[in-house]
């Protein structure tokens, strides 16, 4: 086991330690002569930077919205897919597809093929519908400018709903059928079954899906980078760090931002791991 | 920023397999792994044995012209010279990052890298590049004098030496739909001013159903919105910094130029302007959604290509001006040689081939004349084959590049070279942040003065650091 442990430490912990060290260094790649120990200057800059503060708020808003909405949609889809009907396999595969599309490709698709105000599908459909009714002047809203954050959120929800659906579907299919049968015999309505049997059973799975989703969506970069280039108040934490690193070439400050973000996501991850481990415990004791 | 799991053991889980005691081999392997990682000798995939006397490593941006070069190298360069070329091809941001890491530490992993005229003077000042002037003068087949003067000058550092050789160059000009203007009974002046262009945009707005007057970049980024905006600022008499490092981003001239740019976009610009960059404008122009487009000369090649719906319908006018004689920008991808490289001769041979006249003809004959890495040599614009294929925009492109003045692009002396950028390392960050503010003004979320007041504070921070030096 020791080599594996050493290997794990080398590939996961050492880079992080290096990041922590660099975060105390004054290091801009394009000013090599001005390198040195910076003490807490980078962290001071991080906490006084208004752009980063708004990025934190944007990240929270983006993550919470995407996770909650895709959780609700995923639950609905999972409940529908839990029924038996013709062509269920095909429908399930088609619903999972958005999750399999490469994130950057998906973001490009949303930006150009769907949202674009002059040649996107949404405005094209509006034009077509208006034409059916003989109007030559259809509304052509500029989706990404009118509601930039919502544009990013919708693209992400489209991508993460299948993930939520999969986890919840697994939860639904592990539901003991006899309990439902018994409830039916006792005269429970469909709503009662859902409210008193399905939902309590799914609680763990909902928590797991929400926490895993949060861990992933917090890190999202592709959609923000591609759809809005972080403009109009959509710059989240990963994008802000990217800018500090690639545009400002300020390795010290970018590392400090990274450390702050890792500390925050560790808090989230701790909860996630607790949930997962309690779930595993139940599986084992069953 | 991945969350790491502190390996929690799950109670109630019994490992079925007893962990075997590892022998010395495992320990050795682990030790080697640690030693390697502590040695910090991380090598990217591009480091494929740079020991051979005639192997060079080239780091370059993943633009189509470079990809063509990669395809032609083995057959037309290695076979002739015996020099093997290992390419590492990356997107622009990754390229800049890898390049600055390798060159700043003078690790010598890459012998040649593709730099733009933005990095070249900065890298040269840091002492990261080998001067190439003498080699070019000795190499008669290279014909240094054939290079267009502004391009050559933009790759010359403050010490007067040439540190990079251009692969292709571009400027900016106004592209417009000749047919739409004719139908509307309008004519494009031979040297339009921005005010005239704005008047034309107002008249052309709605000239056909769904057609807007003009396309201008609105997508944030120092290489997106900041480039055309800065070229407009120059000709309106504004500047980012004065000669003695005073930030002038909310000065009356800069404000007037930004107001003009934002106002024109909001009134007669393309739909979705705050997210529209070069690609979106190219699409809009090809789809007939806009009547005019002010952008890079490289756009013409795509507009006139065989599969373009507007091929043959586009006219080209010089970049619009207000108070300067010309306002076109200048951008070039060029080859620089790392000072620490131990293959200086082989590196020069490669550059001499890739930036030479012969390579342009080779591309024209093998891959098509529209793919020629043009915009750097006067001889390209005398080549009958090239002119037959690109006649529509060849002269306009050459004039735009030759009239560009990277050292004096405005009405006042500048502290650093650059037309659509300020040639200092901090500009990539500053330009990007300011373009975010202006982009949000284009979206109508704040006024232009508000955006520029915020931007001025950012620019003052940069200026302070320089004023001290």
Phi, psi of A239 (to 5 degrees): -65, -40
pLDDT at A285: 55
Rounded distance, CA B303 to CA B282, Å? Answer: 8
Over range A80-93, report the average pLDDT: 90
pLDDT at B8: 36
Partner residue opposite B30 with nearest CB, options A6, A115, A245: A6
Task: Say whether pLDDT at A208 is over 90.
Answer: no
Task: Say whether pLDDT at B7 is over 60.
Answer: no
The tens digit of pLDDT for each residue in B134-191 reads 999 999 999 999 999 999 999 999 999 999 999 999 999 999 999 999 999 999 999 9
Q: Which residues of A touch B443 (CB under 8 A)?
A: 145, 148, 231-232
Q: How far is CA B405 from CA A208, B144, B423, in A?
A: 60, 19, 14
Length of chain A (residues): 286
3-state SS, residue A280: helix
Over range A196-201, report the average pLDDT: 88
Chain A: residue whose CA lies nearest to B1: A262
Rounded distance, CA B245 to CA B414, Å? Answer: 9
pLDDT at B191: 95
Q: Is B275 exposed, middle or buried (0-12, 13-18, 19+ CB in 10 A)?
A: buried
Share of chain B above pLDDT 70, in %: 89
Q: Which residues of B touch A229 (CB under 8 A)?
A: 219-221, 224, 275, 277
Q: Which residues of A touch B445 (CB under 8 A)?
A: 232-233
Question: Could you give the residue ranges of the DSSP H alpha helices within A41-198?
Answer: 41-48, 50-81, 88-100, 103-108, 121-132, 143-146, 148-173, 177-185, 190-192
Phi, psi of A50 (to 5 degrees): -60, -30
Task: Say whether pLDDT at A155 is over 60.
Answer: yes
Phi, psi of B130 (to 5 degrees): -85, 135
Q: Which residues of B touch A2 (CB under 8 A)?
A: 22, 26-27, 30
Task: Say whether pLDDT at A246 is over 90.
Answer: no
The tens digit of pLDDT for each residue in B46-72 reads 444 444 458 999 999 988 899 999 999
pLDDT at B340: 93
Nearest to A25 by CA among A42, A44, A49, A47: A42
Distance of CA B182 to the CA centre of its chain: 34
The tens digit of pLDDT for each residue in A30-81 reads 677 777 888 888 898 888 888 888 888 899 899 999 999 999 999 999 999 9
With helix as H, strand as E and coil as C, how does B274-297 read?
HHCCHHHHHHHHHCCCEEEEEEEC
Helix (H) or strand (E) holding B261: helix B252-268
pLDDT at B30: 42
Instruction: Tokens 């000239």: give the residue.
Output: B207
DSSP B47-116: -S---STTEEEEEEE--HHHHHHHHHHIIIIIHHH--EEEEEEE-HHHHHHHHHHHHHTT--S-SEEEEE
Q: Is B231 left (phi over 0), alpha (psi -120 to 50) or beta?
A: alpha
Q: Do A219 and B26 touch (CB under 8 A)?
A: no
Over range A128-147, report the average pLDDT: 86
The tens digit of pLDDT for each residue in A107-116 reads 999 999 999 8
> Virtual CA dihedral for A167, A169, A172, A173, nearest 10 degrees?
-110
The tens digit of pLDDT for each residue in B261-312 reads 999 999 999 999 999 999 899 999 999 999 999 999 989 988 988 788 999 9
For residue B304, what are the contacts with CB-CB under 8 A and spacing of at least 6? Answer: B311, B312, B314, B370, B390, B392, B393
Nearest to B210 by CA among B290, B274, B272, B276: B290
Rounded distance, CA B157 to CA B171, Å? Answer: 20
Q: Of A31-40, A163-172, B16-25, B408-417, where does mean pLDDT reach its minimum? A: B16-25
Rounded distance, CA A138 to CA A130, Å? Answer: 6
The tens digit of pLDDT for each residue in A8-21 reads 888 888 999 999 99
Nearest to A160 by CA among A116, A90, A223, A246: A223
Q: Do B4 and A269 touch (CB under 8 A)?
A: yes
pLDDT at B5: 38
Q: Which residues of A touch B27 (CB under 8 A)?
A: 2-3
The tens digit of pLDDT for each residue in B188-214 reads 999 999 999 999 999 999 999 889 999
pLDDT at A280: 64
Chain B: residue whose CA lies nearest to A112: B280
Task: Say whether pLDDT at A225 is over 60.
Answer: yes
Q: Of A128-132, B189-193, B325-329, where does mean pLDDT reach its minimum? A: A128-132
pLDDT at A233: 83
Rounded distance, CA B469 to CA B456, Å? Answer: 20
Q: What is the pTM of this model?
A: 0.82
Rounded distance, CA B457 to CA B454, Å? Answer: 5
Rounded distance, CA B249 to CA B437, Å? Answer: 12
Task: Say whether pLDDT at B24 is over 50.
Answer: no
pLDDT at B53: 57
Over range A118-144, report the average pLDDT: 87
Q: How far is CA B93 from CA A122, A152, A243, A248, B439, in A?
A: 32, 22, 10, 11, 21
The tens digit of pLDDT for each residue in B366-400 reads 988 888 999 999 999 999 999 998 888 999 999 99
Chain B: residue whose CA lies nearest to A241: B1
Nearest to B274 by CA among A92, A171, A230, A97: A230
Task: Say whether pLDDT at B354 is over 50.
Answer: yes
């Amino acid at each position: 086991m020791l080599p594996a442990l050493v290997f794990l430490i080398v590939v996961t912990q050492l880079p992080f330690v290096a990041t922590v060290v660099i975060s105390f260094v004054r290091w801009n790649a394009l000013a090599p002569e001005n390198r040195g120990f910076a003490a807490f200057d980078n962290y001071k800059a991080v906490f006084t930077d208004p752009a980063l503060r708004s990025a934190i708020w944007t990240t929270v808003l983006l993550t919470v919205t995407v996770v909650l909405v895709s959780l609700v949609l995923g639950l609905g889809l999972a409940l529908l897919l839990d029924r038996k009907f013709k062509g269920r396999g095909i429908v399930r595969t088609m619903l999972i597809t958005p999750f399999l599309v490469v994130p950057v490709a998906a973001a490009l698709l949303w930006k150009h093929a769907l949202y674009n105000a002059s040649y996107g599908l949404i405005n094209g459909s509006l034009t077509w519908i208006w034409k059916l009714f003989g109007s030559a002047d259809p509304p052509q809203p500029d989706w990404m400018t009118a509601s930039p954050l919502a544009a990013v959120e919708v693209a992400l929800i489209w991508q993460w709903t299948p993930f939520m659906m999969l986890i919840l579907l697994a939860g639904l299919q592990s539901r003991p059928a006899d309990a439902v049968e018994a409830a039916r015999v006792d005269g429970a309505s469909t709503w009662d079954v859902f409210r008193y049997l399905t939902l309590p059973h799914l609680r763990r799975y909902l928590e797991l899906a929400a926490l895993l989703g949060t861990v992933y969506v917090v890190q999202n970069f592709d959609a923000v980078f591609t759809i809005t280039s972080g403009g109009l108040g959509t710059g989240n934490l990963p994008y802000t760090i990217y800018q500090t690193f690639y545009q400002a070439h300020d390795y010290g400050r970018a590392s400090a931002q990274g450390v702050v973000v890792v500390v925050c996501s560790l808090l989230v991850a701790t909860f996630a791991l607790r949930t997962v481990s309690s779930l595993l415990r139940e599986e084992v004791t069953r | 920023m991945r969350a790491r799991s502190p390996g929690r053991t799950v109670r109630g889980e019994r490992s079925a397999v007893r962990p075997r005691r590892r022998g010395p081999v495992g320990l050795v392997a682990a030790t080697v792994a640690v030693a390697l990682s502590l040695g910090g000798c991380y090598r990217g995939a591009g480091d494929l044995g740079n020991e051979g006397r005639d192997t060079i490593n080239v780091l370059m941006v993943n633009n189509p012209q470079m990809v063509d070069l990669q395809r032609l190298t083995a057959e037309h360069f290695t076979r002739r010279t015996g020099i093997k070329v290992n390419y590492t091809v990356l997107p622009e941001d990754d390229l800049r990052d890898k390049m600055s890491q390798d060159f700043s530490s003078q690790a010598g992993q890459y012998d040649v890298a593709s730099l733009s005229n933005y990095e070249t003077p900065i890298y040269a000042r840091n002492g990261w590049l080998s001067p190439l002037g003498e080699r070019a003068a000795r190499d008669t087949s290279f014909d240094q004098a054939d290079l267009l003067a502004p391009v050559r000058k933009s790759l010359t550092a403050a010490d007067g030496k040439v540190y990079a050789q251009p692969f292709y160059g571009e400027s900016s000009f106004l592209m417009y739909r000749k047919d739409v203007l004719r139908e509307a009974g309008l004519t494009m002046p031979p040297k339009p001013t921005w005010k005239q262009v704005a008047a034309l945009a107002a008249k052309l707005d709605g000239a056909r159903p769904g057609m807007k007057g003009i396309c201008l970049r609105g997508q944030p980024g120092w290489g997106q919105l900041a480039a055309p905006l800065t070229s407009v600022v120059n000709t309106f008499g504004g500047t980012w910094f004065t000669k003695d490092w005073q930030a002038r981003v909310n000065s009356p001239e800069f404000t007037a130029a930004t107001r003009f740019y934002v106002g024109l976009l909001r009134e007669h610009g393309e739909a979705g302007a705050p997210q529209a960059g070069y690609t979106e404008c190219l699409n809009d122009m090809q789809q007939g959604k806009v009547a005019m487009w002010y952008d890079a000369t490289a756009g013409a090649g795509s507009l006139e290509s065989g599969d373009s719906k507007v091929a043959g319908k586009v006219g080209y006018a010089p970049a619009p001006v207000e108070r300067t004689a010309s306002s076109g920008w200048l951008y070039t991808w060029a080859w620089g040689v790392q000072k620490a490289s131990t293959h200086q001769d082989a590196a020069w041979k490669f550059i001499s081939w890739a930036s030479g006249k012969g390579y342009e003809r080779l591309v024209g004959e093998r891959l098509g004349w529209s793919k020629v890495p043009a915009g750097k040599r006067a001889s390209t614009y005398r080549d009958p084959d090239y002119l037959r294929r690109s006649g529509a925009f060849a002269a306009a492109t050459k004039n735009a590049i030759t009239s560009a003045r990277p050292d004096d692009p405005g009405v006042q002396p500048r502290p650093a070279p650059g037309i659509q950028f300020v040639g200092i390392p901090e500009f990539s960050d500053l330009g990007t942040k300011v373009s975010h503010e202006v982009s949000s003004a284009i979206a109508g979320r704040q006024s232009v003065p508000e955006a520029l007041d915020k931007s001025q504070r950012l620019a003052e921070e940069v200026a302070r650091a320089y004023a001290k030096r």
